[in-house]
Amino acid sequence: MDLVATILVDGLIYAGWLFIVSVGLTLVFGVLNILNIAHGSLYAIGAYASATLVGIYFANGGDAIPWGSYAALILAAVLVALVVGPILERGLLRFFYGRDEVLNVLVTYAVFLILEDVMKLIWGVNPYFVYEPYTLLGDVEIGPLFYVGYDFAVIAAAIIVGLGVWLTLNRTRMGKVVLAVIHDSEMSQTMGVNVPRIYLGAFMAGTFLAALGGALTAPMISVTPGLGVNVIIVAFAVVIIGGLGSVPGAAIGALMVGISRAASVHLLPEAELFIIYFVMAVVLMFRPEGLFAKTQARKI
Amino acid sequence: MTRSLTLSAAAAFVLLALGALVLPDWAMFLFAMALAKGLVCLGIVGMMRGGLVSFGQGLYYCLGAYTATLVANTFGVSDIFLLTVLSTGVCLAVGLAFGPLLASYRGIFFAMLSLALSMVLYGSLSKMSFIGGTDGLNIAAPTFLGWAPEGRALQTALYLYVAVMVVIAGTLMRIYFDSEQGLIALAARDNELRVEYLGASVRNVNTYSYVFGAVLGGIGGTIAVLALGHVDPEFAFWTTSGEFVFVAILAGYLSVPSVFVAAIILEMVRSFSNLYFPNTWQLALGIFLLIVIVVLPDGLGSLVRRRKGDAT
Amino acid sequence: MTATVLDVRDVQKTFGAVTAAQDISVAVPEGAVYSLIGTNGAGKTTFVNMVTGYIKPDAGTINFGGRDIAGMAPRQITRMGIHRSFQIAQLCNELTVEENMLVAGAIHGNHRPSFLRNGHNAEARDRALATLERFNIAEHRNRLIPELSGGVKKLLDIAMAMAGKTSIMMLDEPTSGVAADEKFPIMDLVIGALRSEGVTVIFVEHDMDIVTRYSERVLAFYDGRIIADDTPDEVLSDADVRRYVTGAAA
């Protein structure tokens, strides 16, 4: 019984993190039809930016109000979205809209390679540590087990992000326009929607979510080069399981992957590194386009 | 096999063999590695002709390398021919098992599933400490039908071996590309519905090219591990596969020799970058890839071979 | 009385709330030329798609060649001899006209497509050229598909479908997207070629002049049902057909 509870809690924590890092990926794919490998780099940039900002915060007397470091984390993600988002979308990706999906994967792969080294140029190769925000929330005791409070904050953040994205898409005018663009961008354009602006907005939102994932993760780890490499692969798996472009799909995918991985860690540690791909392969066997994908017959 | 193809194959071999005489040791090693990886990339190019891009060709590269290493270390086999045959056989079997499954998927899904398979291998090998875990394994230098060269002679023999493999595989793949099946693959890339309504199975077309890719990956991996003397799970890591895709894109699907030229270019850029810009090598690679995509969308091959009516 | 080559019985198909086929039954005799008429959404293309395997019917049987082909894959049905053309010509845009024809020839040839035999071999090219000449499009053989006119695309689409041994040819709007003055020449060519080989023809058509001139029998579709199945004169003078299909005053 304890084992089941442990797996569930660990799984939920991991799922929360997974959802934050993958929801932006699926959103960007839904709108721009680009599977963005550089999403992993944006995550890493978010981590570096937040490590830097939090470091600056504490170096300038932040110790008096340590809670302010959370604002610094979020500010870091916003800054990344405002700076890097437009550079990539306006400067590069917009020239590839409507091109072959696989070709666009390669374009973003190139961006990924470039950003990997750019990060090294900016932040160097030595690790950054910002543990303060991680310890602020203390520990949480569940039965015989202790968890770091911050881990639960990640779950809360995931729920807030999920609700935020869902409400924005379904309950605001702008969100409905975005859904219309996802459904049929050509039609939306003829109906007077400023599609390029929606694309830019969606990409910046995706960038923000990737960077937020990195920013929230930074206090839990040492921020080092190569951070984005593995993130992108698990995020891919999550959004493919859920169905590319589906926000609820990303949530379900994150839960499936999170809990499977937690189960694997506790029951079959040898499988930990590939359980994600195993789940993905099984899902695709039965649902070739993922769980929530809209399949549409081609008119002939 | 037409006369012009025979002549091209012979010319390619002579050209490569000349390299054995003129190249310094370091370059011969670099070329041997590039050609071995080029074999893997040739497999991707074959799939590209049918419209598929595998982001997980590291699977077969790694599988071939590990099979050769395990066979060599367990059974004391050192003959390069035997090792190649055995590890290629294993890759063929795995390719035949996964090919029909993967062949139902297209585009991103095919790319990501093939990547997932290679990452499963990567994850498994990393955890298997009895075969070295993340450290990998060493393999002794190969012998050639009983002959056990050392030093420069070994380098030369390996280089010539990979050159022979490249010429054979390149010629066979060219024949396949130009064949009726190859033409159907091009059509399937273009309009799957049409091909199905002509009565051919696009899934079969994709399975064939996947299996050929598996075999080529196995050969490439075997030669690479023998040249390096070491294999580790990184052989199956997605960035390794990403480089193979890079070479395939740089080469394009029109010309076979351009695959090996592209592989050599990549290895040269890598070793020079490592020497002079160790921290910005990926940056250079990324910019290079973008330039290729924009300037040469059909790859290097489009410089020498055009794809209109005269493609004979 | 000739034998029935295609026997469709009680076929049903709904897409959500839309009924695309309701109690569709028709027996097509060998060598006949049928046309399908009806407004958009009446169920003509659904009928073609069900017979050729693109859509699986919810219920009913489609008998051909001694088997129920309902729900079989397009590939299998094609191999059994039911071939089709498309409303939007389905061609390989990166290949030349000749290469499109070579693909069709390679798949439909006397032997299985080979991994060794050159796809551009002399014999295959001769055969492709002969077919292209028969459809008067040989002059375009070295051009790429996007450079062609609508009529040439349609003809190539049909020529490719005919490359194999055809028992039934289903033409989905063979004259749509074709210039007005090309319609009759194209139909002359196509129907002439098909009839000379004894192929049973079923074509979807909106132009009633073409229906009257080329078909022996007409199936009028309305709301997923066949409301008339008779000779062109009878069907076109039918009151329901006039009201629901041709739009002429009753």
pLDDT tens-digit readout, C147-205: 999 899 999 999 999 988 899 999 999 998 888 888 999 999 999 999 999 999 999 99
Residue of A nearest to C49 (CA): A300
Q: Distance (Å, rounded) from C-alpha C87 to C-alpha C37?
A: 14
Phi, psi of A98 (to 5 degrees): 80, -5
Report the residue of C77, C88, C118, C168 to disrupt the B interface, i.e. the one with the largest count of B CBs within 10 Å. Answer: C118
Number of Cβ pairs < 8 A linking chain A and chain B: 112
- Whether chain C has a CB inside 8 Å of the CB on B24: the answer is no
Q: Are B248 and B48 in contact (CB under 8 A)?
A: yes
Classified as helix, coil or strand, C68 is strand
Say if residue C249's pLDDT is above 60. no
pTM (2 decimals)? 0.89
- All residues of chain A having their beta carbon less than 8 Å from the beta carbon of residue C88 are 300
Find, among C182, C160, C185, C180, the residue nearest to C171 by Cα: C160
Contact B193 A281 (CB under 8 A): no
Q: Which of A35, A106, A289 sits opposite B289 (nearest CB)?
A: A106
The C-alpha of B128 sits at a distance from chain A's nearest C-alpha, in angstroms, of 8
| pLDDT on residue B309 | 41
CA distance B285 to A291: 36
Tens of pLDDT along chain B (312 residues) come to 578 899 999 999 999 999 888 999 889 999 999 999 999 999 999 999 999 999 999 999 999 999 999 999 999 999 999 999 999 999 999 999 999 999 988 888 899 889 888 988 998 898 888 999 999 999 999 999 999 999 899 999 999 999 999 999 999 999 999 999 999 999 999 999 999 999 999 999 999 999 999 999 999 999 999 999 999 999 999 889 999 999 999 999 999 999 999 999 999 988 888 888 877 888 988 998 899 889 888 888 888 776 544 443
Answer whether C145's CB lies under 8 Å from C92's CB: yes
CB contact under 8 A, A105 and B111: yes
Checking if the pLDDT of A60 tops 50, the result is: yes
8 Å CB contact of C75 and B179 = no
C chain contacts of residue B311, beta-carbon cutoff 8 Å: 99, 120
**Long-range contacts of C234-238, Cβ-Cβ distance < 8 Å, separation of 24 or more:** C235/C37, C236/C208, C236/C211, C236/C212
Domain over C1-74+203-250 is classified CATH 1.10.10.60: no
Domain boundaries, chain B: 32-236
Task: Tell how far CA A154 is from the center of its chain.
Answer: 12
Contact B279 A110 (CB under 8 A): no
3-class secondary structure, C82:
strand
- How far lies A83's CA from each of A19, A24, A91, A114, in Å? 23, 17, 12, 16
CA distance B187 to chain A (A): 17
Size of interface B-C (CB pairs under 8 A): 111
How far apart are the C-alpha atoms of C237 and B66, rounded to whole Å? 77
Judge whether residue A294 has pLDDT over 70.
Answer: no
- Phi, psi (deg, nearest 5) at residue B147: -85, 130
Token pair listed for A154: 């990640």
Q: Which residues of B touch C142 (CB under 8 A)?
A: 308-309
Does B185 touch chain C if contact means CB atoms closer than 8 Å? no
User: How large is the average pLDDT for residues C11-18?
Assistant: 89
pLDDT-above-70 percentage for chain A: 97
Report whether B69 contacts B84 (CB < 8 A): no
pLDDT band at C15 (very low <50, low <70, confident <90, very high): confident
All residues of chain C having their beta carbon less than 8 Å from the beta carbon of residue B254 are: none
Q: Is B181 close to C84, i.e. CB distance below 8 A?
A: no
Alpha carbon of B31: minimum distance to chain C alpha carbons (Å)? 30
pLDDT range class, residue A1, cuts 50, 70, 90: low
Residue B120 is nearest to which of A274, A289, A300, comparing CB atoms? A274
**Which chains contact B through at least 3 pairs of Cβ atoms less than 8 Å apart?**
A, C
The span from the CA of B176 to the CA of B20, in Å, is 29
Question: Is the CB of C87 inside 8 Å of chain A's CB atoms?
Answer: yes
Token pair in block for residue B160: 């010539």
Are residues B38 and B264 in contact, defined by beta-carbon separation less than 8 angstroms? yes
A117 within 8 A of B283, measured Cβ to Cβ: yes
Q: What's the pLDDT score for residue A298? A: 59
- C-chain residues near B200 (CB < 8 A): 75, 107, 113
Given a contact as 3+ CB pairs under 8 Å, which chains touch A? B, C
CB neighbour class for C192 (10 Å; exposed up to 12, middle 13-18, buried from 19):
exposed
Integer Rg of chain A from CA: 19
How far apart CA B118 and CA B244 sit, in angstroms, is: 13
Measured CB to CB, residues of chain B less than 8 Å from chain A are: 53, 55, 101, 104-105, 107-109, 111-113, 115-117, 119-120, 122-124, 126-128, 193, 238-239, 242, 245-246, 249, 279-283, 285-287, 289-290, 293
A67: burial class by Cβ within 10 Å (0-12, 13-18, 19+)?
exposed
Window 155-174 of C: residues touching A by CB (8 A cutoff) are 172
Upper half-sphere CA count for residue B297 (Cβ side, 13 Å): 8
Residue A197's CB: how many other CB atoms inside 10 A? 11
Q: Work out the average pLDDT over C54-70.
A: 94
C245 Cβ contact partners less than 8 Å away, ≥ 6 residues apart: C37, C38, C39, C42, C220, C221, C222, C227
Token readout for B94 is: 């795995």
One-letter-per-residue 3-state SS of chain B: CCHHHHHHHHHHHHHHHHHHHHCCHHHHHHHHHHHHHHHHHHHHHHHHHCCCCCCCCHHHHHHHHHHHHHHHHHHCCCEHHHHHHHHHHHHHHHHHHHHHHHCCCCHHHHHHHHHHHHHHHHHHHHHCHHHCHHHCEECCCCEECCECCCHHHHHHHHHHHHHHHHHHHHHHHHHHHHEHHHHHHHHHHHCHHHHHHCCCCHHHHHHHHHHHHHHHHHHHHHHHHHHHCEECHHHHCHHHHHHHHHHHHHHCCCCCHHHHHHHHHHHHHHHHHHHHCCCCHHHHHHHHHHHHHHHCCCCCHHHHCCCCCCCC
Write down how long chain C is. Answer: 250
Residues of B whose CB is below 8 A from C141: 309
Residue B208 tokens, joined: 């064939």
Judged by a CB distance cut-off of 8 A, whether residue B3 touches chain C is no
Residues facing A148 on adjacent strands: A139
Give residue C248's pLDDT.
Answer: 61
Chain C interface disruption, residue of A295, A296, A299, A300, most C CBs within 10 A: A300
Q: Does B178 touch chain C (CB under 8 A)?
A: yes
Ramachandran region of residue A194, left (φ > 0), alpha (ψ -120 to 50) or beta?
A: beta
Mean pLDDT of chain C: 92
**Residue C250 confidence (pLDDT):** 43
Nearest C-alpha in A relative to B126: A273
Structure tokens at B177: 């590309």
Contact C27, C230 (CB under 8 A): no
Cα dihedral angle (B99, B102, B106, B111), rounded to 10 degrees? -100
For residues A208 and A204, what is the distance between their CA atoms, to the nearest angstrom?
6
Closest partner residue to B184 among C94, C96, C113, by Cβ? C113
Burial of C150 (0-12, 13-18, 19+ CB in 10 A): middle
Q: Which CATH architecture has domain A2-286?
A: Orthogonal Bundle (1.10)
Which chains does chain C touch, 3 or more C-beta pairs < 8 A? A, B
Which string of DSSP letters, residue by residue, matches chain A? -HHHHHHHHHHHHHHHHHHHHHHHHHHHHHHH----TTHHHHHHHHHHHHHHHHHHHHHTTGGGSTTHHHHHHHHHHHHHHHHHHHHHHHHTGGGGTTS-HHHHHHHHHHHHHHHHHHHHHHH-SS-B---HHHHTT-EEEETTEEEEHHHHHHHHHHHHHHHHHHHHHHHSHHHHHHHHHHH-HHHHHHTT--HHHHHHHHHHHHHHHHHHHHHHHGGGS-B-TTHHHHHHHHHHHHHHHH-TT-HHHHHHHHHHHHHHHHHHHHH-GGGTTTHHHHHHHHHHHHSTT-TT----PPP-
**Best residue in A36, A106, A121, A231 for a mutation probing chain B (most B CBs within 10 Å):** A106
In Å, how far are B42, B188, B206, B282 from B173, measured between CA atoms? Answer: 8, 18, 15, 31
Partner-chain contact A277 B109, CB within 8 Å: no
Token pair recorded at residue C250: 């009753």
**If you average pLDDT over residues A187-213, what whole number do you get?**
91
